[in-house]
Every structure is written in structure tokens, then in C-alpha cells.
Amino acid sequence: MTSSSLNAQDINNAIVHDSQTEHSENRNGINVAFLGNSILYFNDTPRFLFNLSNHKIRHQNSCLRGGTTLTELYTLGNGMKRHGFATDNALMENGEHDVGSPTVQDLLQSKDNSKWDVVVMNEHTQGPARQSTREEFHSTLLQQYMPLISTNNPTATVIFVETAAYRLQGINNSDDLGTTQQFQQSVREGIQSYIQLLHHDNYTSISARMAPVGTAFLHVYNDNHELWTKLFDPWDNFHPSPTGTFLQGCVLHCTIFGIPPTVPRTNEEIAALWKDARMMHPKKKGSDGVALPSVTNIG
């Protein structure tokens, strides 16, 4: 890794080893469902990853809602009409906006009878970091999510996103979670508990993996602190910037397919990855949005 760039190839080679991924051999492409919150919908990770996969993903859909846990998402459903997917890029031929499936149940039951090969799950960042909220999601995972996932596809792969610890210590009532390294370790342990839960329950045909996004952020933190700060929204210090979403997408690609994505060679190729994004990093009053990553800082 150089001191001035993410060097996505090096980071993702490390992530491939760390997450024990397997290379998908489905030449027709796979179907990927996304469940989570604004960590995924900032800069439209579902569509970004679809483009980054270069046809390895055949179809994607999502149920996302800002600021929620996966337990709350199951109850409240999709919130993207309110949270920013009602944009020109989201507009469909029928005049409606592509905001994803209205509920978790609707997404996972897949009314068109298609099977989800991969289900990406993004819990609220602090959820896996505390024992009480870990245990709450253990119950939701086994009683609500897994019956739907396994009924849709008993050999699906469930990928839990290890989200990144916040850029500023103590924000959003996270004082008790300690330093960046301590916070990240707690998140990681929580994600590992979700995977262990599935391995020890009745879902032995389901493959469960961690997408170690936070670990990748920590690689950058340790190597180049200035670049690490640019992985976050500069106003709230916890959502990903476009550069953070780029890194998140690379880690998800590695976790799903077992290989790093093809790294864009030009700034135009980078921009093309977001050509149909329904929502980019939101502009704040009196300022421009945050710039896309460049070939200089992705290695």
C-alpha cells in the first residue's frame, strides 16, 4: 500500500484472505439482495456494486431505511422515498421511482420467484458492538430473517457488513465504545457472533460470511490517517464519502466473489461506476457535494 492511495488491490488481497472467501463460478451472474440503512444507501452501494461487478451480478434489489437497526427495518420497512431515492436516476418507465422493495418480507419472498444467491445485511454500526443489542438481533435473525432467506434459497450466502467505527470518537452516543480500534474490534466481534449463531443453528446449508469493511478502513487508518479521514462524510463523520463507498464496494466484491474487482484506470471509468446512482453524497447548504475518488487515491 502506498502512502498516498487506497491501493485497492493490496487491501482487497488482505480482505480475501481474512474473510475466507470463495470464488463464484456462476457464469450467468448472481442475484444479490441488500438489507440495511444509510451506510448502504449513501452513494447507492447496491447500484455501485452492480456496476463494479462487471456483469457478475445479474440482478439486485434492496430494502433500506436510514438510521435503523435490522430489527427495526423488519418492522418498519423501506424508507427510501423519504430518504433520497426519489431522484431522476431512480425514475422508471412507469413513472414511479425505484426505491427498492417496500418491506423485508416482500424482498425476501421475491414475488417473481427468483432466488437470492447472496443477501447482504448491514446492521446499525453500534448494534454489533454492544452485548445487549447483539443478543436482540440474534433473536430477530433466527426468528424473522432466516426463515425467509432459507425458504427463498436454502443454499444462499448471507454476508454481514462489518461497518466502520466512526471518524470522531464519542459521537452519536458512542462514548462507551472507546477508541477507533476498540470500537472496531467490538463491531467485528459482534459480526462474528452472528456468523457463529448460524453455524450452530439449523441453517447448515446457508453460508455466512463477514464483509470486513471496517477492517479495511482500519488498514487505511494505520497506513495513512489523512486518507482515512476522507473515507467519511466530512459533516457527520460516520457515513461513507464516495471514496469510502468505493472501498466498501471493493470489500463486498471480494467477499462475494473471492477476487478483487477490476480497478478503474481513469477518472471517467470511476465516474461511470456511479452513472445511475439514485443518491450520491448529499450536498449541504452553501457547499458542493464531496468529490468522487480519483485514480490517484485508489492506487
> How large is the average pLDDT for residues 267-275?
96
Q: 12-16, 68-72, 224-228, 255-259: lowest mean pLDDT where?
A: 12-16
What's the confidence (pLDDT) of residue 1?
44
Which residues have C-beta within 8 Å of that of residue 217, sequence separation ≥ 6?
164, 165, 184, 228, 231, 244, 247
**How far apart (Å, rounded) are the C-alpha atoms in residues 148 and 289?**
38
Which residues have C-beta within 8 Å of that of residue 295, sequence separation ≥ 6?
264, 265, 266, 267, 270
Would you say residue 18 has pLDDT above 90? no
Q: Are strands 118-121 and 157-161 parallel, antiparallel or unpaired?
A: parallel
**How far apart (Å, rounded) are the C-alpha atoms in residues 114 and 153?**
9
Cα 71 to Cα 18, 46, 127, 144, 191, distances in angstroms = 28, 20, 10, 9, 15
Q: What percent of the chain has pLDDT over 70?
A: 88
**How far apart (Å, rounded) are the C-alpha atoms in residues 37 and 290?**
20
Which of these, 183, 141, 193, lies nearest to 163 by C-alpha position?
A: 183
Q: Is the pTM of this model over 0.85?
A: yes
Helix axes 8-19, 213-223, angle to 10 degrees: 130
